[in-house]
């Protein structure tokens, strides 16, 4: 006869082991980056232009370029993704075609980023003739994170109890008024979760911007959305693999700034999500 307590302890042990196998390596990576990268962080490193083929100076253009690309991607992807999620969850009929579309969107979230880079190169750089520019890079990143935003937003909308909709409609509100004033406010925490995931992926990807926007060495700020720009992920790749005699602390310092930037954006979004979640009545 099985002992339930022993079974529970074994299950707990394996769950704890699985958690440690995930947390410990990630923690070690963060500790190493902070330990080796923090000595490089100073005002000159953060605010100066790169010099001597990126062997000296700072990473200011790469920081600004990353912020431009992430902002452009979110501005493009969030409205379209939210509208698509609203249509799929509130208006589309539950039939074979709709289920295929939902499955396709989920599968697109797992497509390798290099495929999105080639797609952006063919569509935005060549076909629409935007050139290698901030616009092409932002649109490519926006398309890459679009499936994440659609999926998370749709799940957040569908998690709102159906009774909320029924009560609103019974009081004379239209379907759109119900979605706008009842469903959306209660789904905002889940929508922000998808936005956080999209922000993190857009800020850390190298392959899509490699084909559409990233410059190898550009010691100036962009003047328009049709200019090339440096970006932290590509800058880190270049100084780690293509430029010889780069100080180790410069490489780890760049990685530290990228990590801090992503964590800061995620933290800000989490705080906003927490405030909206506190207002929920269910």
Note down the domain range covering 134: 68-279
- Angle at which helices 134-159 and 184-204 cross, to 10°: 140
CATH number of the domain enclosing 107:
1.10.3720.10
In a domain, 36, yes or no: no
* pLDDT tens, residue by residue, 234-267: 999 888 888 888 888 888 999 999 999 888 887 8
Number of Cβ within 10 Å of residue 36's Cβ equals: 16
Residue 193 has pLDDT above 90, yes or no: no
Number of domains comprising the chain: 1
Q: Which residues are paired to 56 by β-bridges?
A: 51
Task: State mean pLDDT over 126-135.
Answer: 94
As to burial, measured by CB atoms within 10 angstroms (0-12 exposed, 13-18 middle, 19+ buried), residue 74 is buried
Give the tens place of pLDDT for each residue, 212-237. Answer: 998 888 888 888 999 999 999 999 98
Residue 1 has pLDDT above 70, yes or no: no
Q: Let me know if residue 167 belongs to a domain.
A: yes
| Contact (Cβ atoms closer than 8 angstroms) between residue 125 and residue 119 | no
Residue 239: CB atoms within 10 A of its CB come to 21
Q: Is residue 48 part of a domain?
A: no
- Is 49 part of a structural domain of the chain? no
Does residue 13 belong to any structural domain of this protein?
Answer: no
User: Is 189 a member of any domain?
Assistant: yes
Average pLDDT over residues 113-130: 94
Rounded to whole angstroms, the Cα distance separating 77 from 67 reads 15
161 falls within a domain? yes
Does any domain span residue 90? yes
What tens digit of pLDDT does each residue of 23-45 get?
Answer: 999 899 889 999 998 888 988 88
């Amino acid at each position: 006869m099985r002992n339930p307590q022993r079974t529970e302890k074994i299950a707990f042990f394996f769950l704890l082991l699985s958690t440690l196998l995930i947390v410990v390596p990630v923690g070690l990576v963060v500790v190493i980056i902070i330990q080796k990268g923090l000595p490089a962080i100073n005002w000159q490193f953060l605010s100066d232009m790169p010099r001597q083929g990126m062997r000296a100076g700072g990473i200011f253009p790469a920081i600004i370029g990353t912020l431009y690309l992430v902002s452009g991607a979110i501005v493009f992807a969030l409205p379209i993704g939210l509208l698509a999620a609203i249509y799929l969850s509130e208006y589309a009929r539950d039939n074979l075609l709709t289920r295929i579309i939902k499955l396709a969107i989920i599968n697109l979230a797992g497509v390798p980023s290099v495929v999105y880079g080639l797609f952006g190169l063919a569509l935005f750089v060549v076909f629409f003739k935007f050139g290698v520019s901030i616009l092409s890079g932002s649109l490519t990143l926006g398309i890459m994170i679009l499936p994440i935003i659609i999926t998370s937003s749709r799940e957040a909308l569908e998690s709102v109890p159906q009774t909320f909709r029924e009560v609103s409609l019974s009081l004379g509100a239209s379907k759109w008024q119900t979605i706008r004033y009842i469903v959306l406010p209660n789904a905002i925490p889940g929508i922000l979760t998808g936005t956080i995931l999209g922000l993190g992926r857009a800020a850390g990807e190298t392959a899509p911007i490699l084909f559409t926007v990233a410059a190898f060495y550009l010691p100036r700020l962009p003047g328009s959305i049709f200019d090339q720009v440096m970006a932290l992920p590509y800058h880190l790749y270049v100084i780690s693999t293509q430029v010889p005699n780069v100080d180790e602390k410069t490489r780890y310092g760049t990685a530290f700034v990228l990590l801090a930037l992503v964590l800061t954006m995620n933290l800000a979004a989490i705080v906003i999500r927490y405030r909206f979640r506190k207002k929920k009545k269910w």
